[in-house]
Each structure stands twice: as structure tokens, then as C-alpha cells.
Amino acid sequence: MEHTIPEKHYLNEATGWKSWLMTLDHKRIGILYMIMVMFSFFLGGVFALLLRWELISPDKILMGPEMYNQAFSLHGIIMIFLFIIPSIPAILGNFVMPLMIGAKDVAFPRLNLASWYIYVIGFCFAVYALFTGGIDTGWTFYTPYSSETTTAVIPILTAAFVLGFSSIFTGLNFIVTIHKLRAPGMTWFQLPLFVWAIYATALIQVLATPVLGITLALLMLERVVGIGIFDPAMGGDPVLFQHFFWFYSHPAVYIMILPGMGIISELIATFSHRRIFGYKFIAFSSLGIAFTGFLVWGHHMFVSGQSDFAAVIFSFLTFFVGIPSGIKILNWMATMYKGSISLDTPMLWALSFLILFSIGGFTGIILGTLSIDVHLHDTYFVVSHFHYVMVGGTVMAIFGGLHYWWPKIWGRMYNETLARIAVVLIFVGFNVTFFVQFIMGTQGMPRRYATYLPQFQGMHGFSSIGALIMGVGFLLIAIYLIHAIFKGKPSGPNPWKALTMEWETPSPPRAGNFEGAQRLTHGPYDYDKVVPENALKQYKTL
Amino acid sequence: MSQTTARPAHLQHHFTDVHQQAESAKLGIWIFLLTEVLLFGGLFCFYAIYRSWNPDMFHNAHAFLNVWMGATNTVVLIVSSLTMALAIRSMQLGRRKHTIVFLAGTVLLACVFMVIKYFEYSHKIHLGQLPGKWYFFEGIAGTNPHIFFSAYFLMTGLHGFHVLGGIAVITWLIIKTARGSFSPEYYTPIEMTGLYWHLVDLIWIFLFPLFYLIG
Amino acid sequence: MKDDAAQRHILPLNLYLAVGSGLLVLTVITVAAAQMDFGQMNLLIAMGIAVVKATLVAMFFMHLKYDNRIYMLVFVGSLLFLGVFIIFTMFDTLRRGDIYEEISEPYLKEAVIYRTAETGTASSHAAADSSHTAAEAETETTDH
């Protein structure tokens, strides 16, 4: 069946660069975010490749130890603060969430645009730091080193501080939007699970990010003024900085993964063509993860000199995070069981997520065990664990989501063959890169070193080959996705025959999202009750 | 639904009615206040931990703060909170002139607060009761008294910045009210600023005893 | 459409004045109480009064008593998470040295800024740590 692009849509209803830079439309802001965030992903990726390049051999290839320290710090800072934290909420949350709940826009469109500008300012500070001495503290800015090193700590702290505001604004906006702007008739338990996940994420954003703000402000004051609260020479306590930092940064890990889990819930239901199993369990497990995420930050500090009492409590509580995560995984599996699964590209990303995130999650439980962590702390085991969660989890979900909603965003479809090749490249490349790092870690290879003992040569080389495969995969994705924007085949409003509300508008949608007021006619996963037809808003009741 | 009736000028396009818009704004400001509580929370945590480590030093150092200035400032802020609440009430009743008077009173009291703070600060700076490495005062017994003044200046300083912010916003509200932008039907900005101002007062209610009374 | 007047909760003037005077009276009480020494109770009394004052402000000035319960939830929630932050951090800071006593005390008990004993401006309390040499102090200055 041939589809056409509607004559008027949000991309062409207003033209000129000013109509983009001053836009209040959540869809356009989502795209502005996409440009900046994906550029950051590219930058961070370049640093990752440089690191793996250097690690091909224990000898110096590209950079000496100081340069290496800067490269891994920038890789971490860019990937975390500029890419992964804003990624799903700011791009897909912005674009899709209001459509999913039948709203015309987010609650505070101006604040939404402001958050993008603040993000850009933060981005500029980060780039400024990059060109004025770099940063070699790692992304965690641990004191007392961060108050002593001569690199550009202040600009990068300013960047992270400013980006925090952007994150808070997005979170605040989404909470109010989900509370107040749902379509008439849409109750909380008719929300798509992506919206639940975004909601839980937004709660963490507003609760945790202010503490990061004050922490970074204190560190800046420590450095500039010398207030002496984290500096042992001044009677301060450097471990206190770690508490402050991880009170934000551990929940921030869930800011990164929760929206990814939301995307996976959508993908699994859509491509299994089956009512999602255990809707309420998945919805509440998002909130459960958000809450327990605040109680476990000390497991990053088992060897930092915190009290044994605290370490035991934090280790014990850490196991509880496994429960809601496990609930989600099992419910997704149950959804697929006896479903009518189609293996389109987004579903392939979702399946990769399931496998990789499970590995990442289980190794997290291993690391949360106090006695084992003492052995594995600061080794490649930890590096591999969080890459399995962040890349194997969140990045798989982002690209799954982008492939899933790409036809909604641009109205055009990408090349399916190339897309499937890309998934395989990334999946294989990822495992080649990181699985050996588990083994290296257990054998004692410490993280954050530019060199290593000769016995690790083989595994480091293997890992670097994997990174190259991943690099090729991401390049391929960039090519065919950008090509699809201009030359792709028109996709029609609902190419996947999904039942959530964003598919009830034309692709791309109009500036005001829906014609007239949107009403809920069926639940988001009523695959057992209705079948979507290809034309708009036509559903056949079974 | 109010779609059949004319949409008021202040109603934005993506809301169905003014009620929805006002409720959204209110939830938004409450979540903003939540972020403020946690922002100050970091400093309260800092205070609590160092106080628990050096209770004697905190006790000795607090004696060097002027209770009467602190108490005066508490009274000033409480009264300003009251005038803020009355400004909202006046607008609810449509008494625009009263609103302006109460708002102006709030700004005036906030300025008094800052002036008293200025005298306190300059006295401390003069004596060398300063945070961190700038500390050069002698005569407080106990370990590391500069930590107490780090906490004092950070917490009252951050609070002071919030007072200054409040002064700016309330001044803007006075202008808007005088121009007739608000009515008993639409006074959301005043209500939101009021909530913010009460929170600033609320934080001071805790800062006052923690620093001036018990150290 | 809901009734706008019901949403606006116009409270009587006397209520505001009563709450305002209540706050002022409590301020006087807490200042008076601080002039006396109740030992361990000092903190509890001062904080107790502050909590009562804060509750008054939140309930009446901020209208929490009359508004939608969700605002109460947001506000109490923020305090709850703040509590988690402070209490869990104190699990660490108050119990260092449970097993290894040597980590219960900081390496330098007294900050380097008090190490001016040689110049004759020793502060009344700085005498304790004379074992640290001036050279040690130099390496630990915080100038950048």
C-alpha cells in the first residue's frame, strides 16, 4: 500500500531558522535536542575509539598517560552528562510523550525551550574546558584530587552544573504534563508504559539533581575560595564529597536506564502484537526502581573508607534493586511468550537489550556484594558491568526507540536491510569489546590506566577490534537514518500497527498534534480487543 | 468545558481551560520548591555532619553570632511572609491597591533583612570570622572553627541570594499589578511567588535556631 | 468545570493575623529557651519549635491544609528524601572506626591554616598539634 506525506506538518508549517530557534513546539524541541545530543554521542564515541586505539598495545601509541587521563575523563563526562542523561527523556520523551497522552504540548513550552538553551550553554562550557587544559579527574570529580589538579576543572564543573538545570526543567515539565494534560478519559493505568518510565525518571531528575547542583557548587567554592569542607588538609572530609556526589549519581544511573526500559516495554508489546503481560507490575517497578535507587549510593564507596556499618547496609539494600528490574525482564519475556513476534529492526534492538541488560544487571548484583566488590573494585569488571548496563541497556533502547519512532518523526522509513545489518554489527561489536573486559577485570586489570601488563595484550587487542566494529555500525546507522529523512519511503501514520495514541496522528504530525481534542478509545495494549487498520483512527473491534 | 466560551487572553493554546492551566502552574511551582528543599538539603547535611563531629566547637562558635540581629531578621521575614499572604488574599478579593501595598511592604521587609545581614557580614569579615582558609579570628575554642563559618556563610549566603531573587520577582509583580495584569480570575504569578517566598521564610525558620541559638 | 471560588480558598483575615502572631510568639519562646541550658534537650527544643513554625507556614500561608493533597505529598516527599540523604550519610560519618579505630579520626585533626605557631600568633587552641612540622604544612597548603 502506497503512503504519502501529508501536505502540512510540523516540519513545514513554519520555515526559517528563527522558527526553529524560537519554537515552542515539543516536537521541534525534541529534534533540536536530537541534533545536540547525537553530536555529543559522536564526540564521546570519538574519545572511546581513541582510548581503545591507545590500548591496543601497552606502549604509547597516540597519547601519554596524562593525555589518556584526559581522554577517559572527557569520554565519561560527555557520554554521561551530555549524552545519556538527556538522551531518551529530552529527545524521545519530548517528541513522543505528549503525543502518547493525547496532549497538544508539554505543560510549560517556554521552560522546555529554555532547557534546550541551557543544555547548549552547558555544552559550550564542556567544549571550552576541552580546549583550555582538558580535565583529568574522571567523570566523578573526586576530591581532593579535583581541588588540586591544574586542569580545567572549573569550566567542566560549570558545564555539569548548568546541564543539571536543563535536566531539572525537563523533569519538572514532564511530571506536570503527565499529571495535568492527559487526554480526557485517560487514567493512570491507561498510560503507555513509556510514559510511566518517563514519569519515574522525571521524579528522580527533580529529586536528585539539586543535590548535584549544590555538590558541584561546593566543589567549585572549595577550589576557588578554599572553604575547606572536602579538603583533608583543611579539616574537611573527602569521603563526604563522594556521599554528596553519589546521592545524585547513583539515582542518575536510573535516570539513564529507566526511560530505556520504557521504550523496551513499547517495543516488546508492539512487535509481539500482544497485550503486555503484568502492566501494573511493570508500571510500579519503574517507581520501585526510582525509589530504591535513592537508598544504595554507598555501594560505590565500599573501599573509600566509609564505615563498615554503612557499607553493610548499602550492600544489603543494593540487592533490592534487582527485584523490580527482574520483574520487568520476566514480564517482557512473558509478553513475548506465544506472541506473534515480528523481527523488525526495533524488535532486534529490544532483544539485544534483553540479553545485554540481563548480563549487566546480574554483574551488578555481583558487584553489590560487599566482599566481592573489594576484590573487583576499580577493575575492568566494573567498566564492563556499567557498559553492559549503559550501552547494552540504554543505548540499545535509544536506537530501538529511534528506529521505532523514526517514521513518526519524519514520516519516512529507513532501509530495513541496512538497519538489520547495523543491529548485528553493534551487538557483535559490543560483546567483543566488553565481554573480555569481565575476564580481564577478574584477573586484576585496573581501570583508568594508559598501559597494562603484557599478559593482557591479547584481550585488550580483541576488545579494541570490537570497538572498531561498533564504530562502523554507528556510522552505518547515521548514514541510513539521515538518508531516510530526505529520501525514505513515506511510512504512513502507523507502520507498525501499534495501538498507543501517537500513531493516531499523521506522520509527521501537525504542529498542534491532533485534530481537535483527543479522546481515548482503547487502551495502549488492547491487541486482544482491536486491530488497527492502516487509515487514521480506524480500529476494527475483534 | 470552556471551549464554547471565549478563551481568556492569558490562557495558552495547549490547555483546555484556565483551571487546568492554574493547576499545572501550581504543581510546577511545588516541584520547583521540592528541588529547592533538596538544594538546601545538601547544606543541611553538611551542617549536620560537621556538627555531629565537632559539637563543642559549634557550640563555642555560635556564641559569636548576634542573637538579636538574627531574631530581628526572623521577625522581619515572618512579617514579610504575612504581608505576602495578605497580598494574595487582597487580589483574590479584587482589591488591587491593597495588593500593591502589601507587595511593597514585603519588598521593604526583604530589604531590611538584607541590610541587617549586611551589617552582620561586614562585622564578621572585619573580625576574620570567615570561611575556610580566610579565617583568621582567634579565640574560639575547639577544632577547626572555620568549618562553622563555612557553614554559616554558605547557608545564609545561599538563603540571601534567594531573598534577593525574591525582591526582584516581587518588584516585577508590583509593576504588573499596577498595570492591571492580574485579577481575581488570574493571579497565578502572585500565588506562585508567594509560595516561593514562604519557602524562603521556612528555610530561615530552621537556619535561625541552628546557627544563632544552639550552634 | 469546577467551581473557581472553591479552588481559591479565600481565608479570613483574622486567621492570617492569628498565624502570624503565633509565629512571632514562638520566635520569642525559642529565643528565650535558648538563653537557658537544657543540655541535650537544647537541640530538641529549638528544632521542635522550628518544626511547629514551619508547619504553621506550610499549612496556612502556603495553603497546604486547604489545597489538593498532591502538593502536600510533593512537599513531604522532598523532606523524606532529604531525611534519607542525611541519615544514610550519617550511617557512615558517625560509625567510622567501629572495627578499625584508627580510621575514626581524620589524619590531620587540625587544619593547616592554624599552623602558625612559629610566628608567635598561636591561637588559644592550636597548641595541640606541635608534632607536625612546618615543612609538612607547606606541602599541604591549598594554593593552586
Residues B68-117: tens digit of each pLDDT: 999 999 999 999 999 999 999 999 999 999 999 999 999 999 999 999 99
Per-residue pLDDT of chain A (542 residues; tens, 9 = 90+): 678 888 899 999 889 999 999 999 999 999 999 999 999 999 999 999 999 999 999 999 989 999 999 999 999 999 999 999 999 999 999 999 999 999 999 999 999 999 999 999 999 999 999 999 889 999 999 988 998 888 999 999 999 999 999 999 999 999 999 999 999 889 999 999 999 999 999 999 999 999 999 999 999 999 999 898 898 888 889 999 999 999 999 999 999 999 999 999 999 999 999 999 999 999 999 999 999 999 999 999 999 989 999 999 999 999 999 999 999 999 999 999 999 999 999 999 999 999 999 999 999 999 999 999 999 999 999 999 999 999 999 999 999 999 999 999 999 999 999 999 999 999 999 999 999 999 999 999 999 999 999 999 999 999 999 999 999 999 999 999 999 999 999 998 889 989 999 998 898 999 888 887 777 888 899 988 887 665 444 555 55
Architecture of domain B20-213: Up-down Bundle (1.20)
Neighbours of A424 (CB within 10 A): 13
Contact map slice: C 28-67 vs A, CB within 8 A: none
ipTM score assigned to the predicted complex: 0.93
Q: Is C102 on the interface with A (CB under 8 A)?
A: no
- Quote the CA–CA distance of C17 and C15 in Å, as a whole number: 5
DSSP letter for each residue of A349-376 = HHHHHHHHHHHHHHHHHHHHSHHHHHHH
- Quote the CA–CA distance of A284 and A140 in Å, as a whole number: 30
Using the predicted structure, report yes or no on whether residue C34 has a pLDDT greater than 60. Answer: yes
Regarding beta strands A489-490 and A530-532, do their DSSP bridges make them parallel or antiparallel, or are they unpaired?
A: unpaired
Q: Is C56 on the interface with B (CB under 8 A)?
A: no
The answer to whether A397 touches A357, Cβ cutoff 8 Å, is: no
Poorest-confidence range of A76-90, B124-138, B162-176, C101-115? C101-115
Nearest residue in chain B measured CA to CA from C85: B45
The alpha carbon dihedral of A481, A483, A489, A492 has a sign of positive
The answer to whether C81 touches B38, Cβ cutoff 8 Å, is: yes
First to last CA, chain A: 23
DSSP letter for each residue of B181-214 = ---SS--HHHHHHHHHHHHHHHHHHHHHIIIII-
User: Which residues of chain A are within 8 Å of residue C111 when distances are taken between CB atoms?
Assistant: 228, 233-236
Using the predicted structure, report yes or no on whether residue B199 has a pLDDT greater than 70. Answer: yes
Nearest residue in chain A measured CA to CA from B33: A206
Q: Which of B102, B196, B205 to mutate to test the interface with C (most CBs of C within 10 A)?
A: B205
Radius of gyration of chain A (CA): 23
CA distance C78 to chain A (A): 7
φ, ψ for residue A428, nearest 5 deg? -65, -50
The answer to whether A220 touches A231, Cβ cutoff 8 Å, is: no
Q: Is C14 on the interface with B (CB under 8 A)?
A: no
Please give the residue that has the higher pLDDT: either A88 or C128: A88
pLDDT digits (tens, 9 = 90+) for B27-74: 999 999 999 999 999 999 999 999 999 999 999 999 999 999 999 999
The answer to whether A505 touches A513, Cβ cutoff 8 Å, is: yes
Confidence of residue C135 (pLDDT cuts 50, 70, 90): very low
Predicted local confidence at residue C103, as pLDDT:
76
| B139–C123 C-beta distance less than 8 A | yes
Q: Which domains does chain A have, with CATH numbers?
A: 24-541 (1.20.210.10)
Q: Is C133 on the interface with A (CB under 8 A)?
A: no
- Quote the CA–CA distance of A218 and A245 in Å, as a whole number: 11
| A215–B133 C-beta distance less than 8 A | no
Neighbours of B166 (CB within 10 A): 22
Predicted local confidence at residue C114, as pLDDT:
82
Residues of chain B contacting A, Cβ within 8 Å: 3, 12-16, 20, 23-24, 27-28, 31-32, 34-36, 38-43, 45-46, 49-50, 131-134, 143-144, 146-147, 150, 154
In this structure, which amino acid lies at residue A525? Y
- Quote the CA–CA distance of A193 and A280 in Å, as a whole number: 9
In this structure, which amino acid lies at residue A10? Y
